[in-house]
């Protein structure tokens, strides 16, 4: 059976390998996602000792493929940093991203977390479609379910994610500011760290001040997973207007908790939400504000969205993700065994 590399950080990028690791008996190697130079050397030495097929857990671990002896798989969550110019990268980062692309292209097989990610792999990296299997991320229904919670005195719109450019928080803030005259006590609660740079938070604070929202935006930089259902369940809605997502866990988690979702009509997000959410052009601030106003004022619409969201979320589970991943392992191992014979 293939060896699964499991990254130990707590972001969405790490969650997939952790959840699969918990649900399978395959051999696992746990490692941080971020290394010092000494850590890179130690991890590379470890990879050189492996004689089995390895599942690299995300596209940025593909840079370590050169140290593997056997054919390998890589799970690609998105090509946001590899192929799109959402954030400025340093020269060192650009070199590493090119190594990621080289590793992805060398993989015996690729697991893509959405049809959109598969399409991107074909379009931008020219990967043959037969070398890609789509396996959706899941949701833990024992954790993400409707709960009774009241975290704040005022009603709030919830946003879960970082402040990277592609997350489109700037347009959400603009849309939110247009609702303040009509909904005096309404707050925007942002759960999640700024991202990999303090510049993201500084830019967000500057925009909040320019829009006069200093008293209306609440930052929750960290929430443990078991607390997230409280935030989702108590929210008036989740707004997730990302410009690009390889999958998009927050909308799925929100639907599982009975929270209405407004999200983008781009990338993988329509695959995740189906007909359960309101989808808008993420560049259209007016459309986003209009959709939020409609959910806030239309009780019948809210009821329908909650019902459809709960049904849509049931289509996804980490058990299903793990089972389908094991099937890919079997196919790759069978092909490798046949190639060895030939």
pLDDT digit string, tens, across residues 234-288: 999 999 999 999 999 999 999 999 999 999 999 999 999 999 999 999 999 999 9
- Could you tell me the CA-to-CA distances from 131 to 12, 72, 124, 170, 247 in Å, in that order? 24, 12, 15, 37, 19
Q: Is the pLDDT of residue 16 over 80?
A: yes
Which pLDDT score is estimated for 282? Answer: 98
pLDDT band at 62 (very low <50, low <70, confident <90, very high): very high
- Greatest mean pLDDT range, 74-83, 217-226, 270-279: 270-279
Torsion region of 214: left, alpha or beta (phi above 0 gives left; psi -120 to 50 gives alpha) = alpha
Which pLDDT score is estimated for 197? Answer: 80
- 3-138+318-341 adopts what CATH topology? Rossmann fold (3.40.50)
Which pLDDT score is estimated for 85? Answer: 80
Q: Is the pLDDT of residue 341 over 50?
A: no
Which pLDDT score is estimated for 222? Answer: 87
Name the percent of the chain lying above pLDDT 90. 85
Q: Which residues contact 65 (CB under 8 A, 6 or more apart)?
A: 56, 72, 74, 102, 103, 106, 107
Least confident of 68-77, 79-88, 303-312: 79-88
- What is the torsion angle, in degrees rounded to the nearest 10, for the CA atoms of residue 149, residue 15, residue 133 and residue 95? 130
The CATH classification of domain 156-313, taken from the options 3.40.50.2000, 3.20.20.10, 3.40.50.970, 3.10.180.10: 3.40.50.2000
Q: Which of 162, 159, 144, 160 is nearest to 226 (CA)?
A: 144
Domain extents in the chain: 3-138+318-341, 156-313
For residues 52-69, average pLDDT: 95
Which pLDDT score is estimated for 326? Answer: 96
Contact criterion met (CB below 8 Å) for 28 and 3:
yes
pLDDT band at 333 (very low <50, low <70, confident <90, very high): confident
Mean predicted lDDT score pLDDT of the chain: 94
Domains 3-138+318-341 and 156-313 share a fold: yes
Distance between CA 141 and CA 173 in Å, rounded? 31
Distance between CA 286 and CA 180 in Å, rounded? 14
Q: Determine the angle formed by the axes of helices 169-177 and 198-210, rounding to 10 degrees.
A: 20
Q: Is the pLDDT of residue 338 over 80?
A: no
Which pLDDT score is estimated for 86? Answer: 80
Please name every residue paired with 76 in a beta bridge, in sequence order, or none if there are none: 112
Q: Which residues contact 128 (CB under 8 A, 6 or more apart)?
A: 122
Contact criterion met (CB below 8 Å) for 73 and 97:
no
């Amino acid at each position: 059976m293939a060896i699964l590399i499991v990254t130990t950080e707590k972001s969405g990028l790490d969650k997939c390998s952790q959840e699969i690791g918990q649900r399978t008996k395959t051999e696992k190697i746990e490692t941080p996602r971020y290394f010092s130079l000494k850590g890179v050397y130690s991890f590379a030495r470890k990879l050189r000792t492996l004689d089995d097929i390895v599942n690299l857990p995300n596209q940025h671990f593909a840079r370590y493929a050169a140290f593997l002896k056997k054919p390998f798989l890589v799970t690609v969550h998105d090509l946001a940093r590899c192929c799109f110019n959402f954030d400025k990268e340093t020269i060192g980062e650009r070199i590493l991203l090119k190594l990621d692309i080289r590793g992805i292209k060398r993989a015996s097989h690729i697991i893509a977390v959405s049809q959109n990610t598969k399409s991107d792999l074909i379009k931008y990296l020219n990967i043959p479609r037969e070398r890609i299997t789509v396996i959706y991320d899941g949701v833990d229904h024992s954790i993400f379910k409707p709960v009774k919670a009241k975290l704040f005195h005022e009603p709030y719109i919830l946003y879960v994610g970082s402040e990277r450019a592609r997350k489109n928080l700037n347009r959400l803030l603009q849309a939110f500011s247009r609702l303040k005259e009509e909904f005096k006590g309404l707050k925007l609660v942002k759960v999640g760290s700024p991202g990999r740079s303090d510049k993201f938070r500084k830019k967000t604070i500057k925009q909040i001040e320019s829009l006069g929202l200093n008293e209306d935006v609440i930052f929750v930089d960290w929430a443990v997973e078991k607390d997230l259902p409280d935030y989702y369940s108590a929210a008036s809605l989740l707004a997730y207007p990302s410009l690009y997502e390889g999958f998009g866990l927050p909308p799925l988690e929100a639907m599982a908790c009975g929270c209405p979702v407004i999200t983008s009509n781009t990338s993988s997000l329509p695959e995740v939400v189906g007909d359960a959410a309101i989808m808008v052009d993420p560049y259209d601030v007016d459309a986003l504000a209009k959709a939020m106003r409609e959910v806030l004022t239309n009780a019948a619409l809210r009821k329908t969205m909650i019902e459809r969201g709960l049904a849509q979320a049931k289509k996804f589970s980490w058990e299903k993700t793990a089972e389908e991943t094991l099937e890919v392992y079997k196919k790759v191992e069978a092909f490798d065994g046949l190639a060895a014979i030939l």
